[in-house]
Amino acid sequence: MKTAVIVTTYNRPDALACVLEGYCHQSDREFVLVVADDGSTEETAAVIQSFQRRGPVPLLHVWHEDQGFRAAAIRNRAVAATDADYIVFTDGDCVPSRRFVETHKALAEAGYFLSSHRMLLSERLTNRALRNSLPLHQWSWIDWAGQWMKRDVNRLLPLLRLPDWLFRKWAPNRWEGIKTCNLSVWRHDLVCVNGLDESYEGWGLEDSDLVIRLLRTGVKHKSARLAAPVFHLWHPEQDRSAMAENQARLEALLRSDRVRAVKGLDRYQMA
């Protein structure tokens, strides 16, 4: 199964370097890494080039011009740039746990998309991790428990791993709360719904839109919680000025029976 991990980023090269380091040390390195760059400057390009020279996995850099927050568009471009059978979406401020890719691949199943959760780091721990290049991807339970006791991480539960048969399919129609910082899906299912809808510009809800349309085609939700966490580096709250407009788009989708993105993957030459 050819797998691509798509990491979305925008002008945060220090965080991206921490994330890419985590992907260089995955337990399973049979994947292509694609940085979906929403218009960053040359400083980000330099970080990517450094990892391209030394990294143990193939690394592609997909960039478009900075015209504001266009995460859906750059993710579609990244999907179009690879011929992978299976796509794992995440963000450039989410450091992967060491078995992150291995687990998404192991839990992948025809007719399902996967979602998992994240652990939130404090501003203090994030600054220390970036300043000192801390190997968060290699930290043990004891390391994280120490940070939780200092209130520098919000929870420890995602570090648990329960048997895969226990609860994975308990909410097959779930879409609320599912985010593209930790989501994986078969390429042919993405193509069927025309990828993410680029009508969503500015922060918010393009991931909910995608999941709703996947569910309408019969693709079900399978949980990768308590198996494949990411460690989310702190950042100031995103500009949410477009939220009302995006909310209106999502509500219009919910009132319809549409399954394909209005502006999606068919805009690009597919790999």
Summarize pLDDT for 23-76 with one digit per residue, the tens: 999 999 999 999 999 999 999 999 999 999 988 999 999 999 999 889 999 999
Find the mean pLDDT for residues 110-114. Answer: 98
Instruction: Tell me the three state secondary structure of residue 182.
Output: strand
Range of the domain at 16: 3-267
Query: What is the C-alpha separation between 253 and 226, in angstroms, rounded?
Result: 31
- Over range 202-216, report the average pLDDT: 93
Q: Which residue has the tokens 């290699």?
A: 138
Strand 59-63 relative to strand 182-186: parallel, antiparallel, unpaired?
A: unpaired
Phi, psi of 186 (to 5 degrees): -70, 140
Are 23 and 58 a contacting pair, CB within 8 Å?
no
The owner of tokens 């921490």 is 18
How far is CA 202 from each of CA 30, 235, 243, rounded to the nearest angstrom? 33, 16, 7
**Angle made by CA atoms 15, 40, 214, in degrees to the nearest 5:** 80
Cβ–Cβ under 8 Å, residues 62 and 81: yes
**Residue 254 is inside which H or E element, if any?**
helix 243-255
Average of per-residue pLDDT values in the chain:
94
How far apart, in whole angstroms, are the C-alpha atoms of residue 28 and residue 98?
A: 9
- Number of domains forming the structure of the chain: 1
DSSP 237: P
Is the model's pLDDT at 125 over the cut of 80? yes
CB 158 within 8 A of CB 32: no
pTM across the whole model: 0.95
Pairing mode, strands 112-115 and 220-223: parallel
Flag the least confident range among 9-18, 49-58, 235-244.
Answer: 235-244
Inform me whether the pLDDT recorded for 166 exceeds 80.
no
Question: Sign of the CA dihedral 157, 160, 162, 164?
Answer: positive
pLDDT over 80 (residue 271): no
Write out the two tokens for 202.
């500015």
- Provide the total of helices (H) and of strands (E) in the chain, helices listed first: 9, 10
**CATH number of the domain where residue 63 is located:** 3.90.550.10
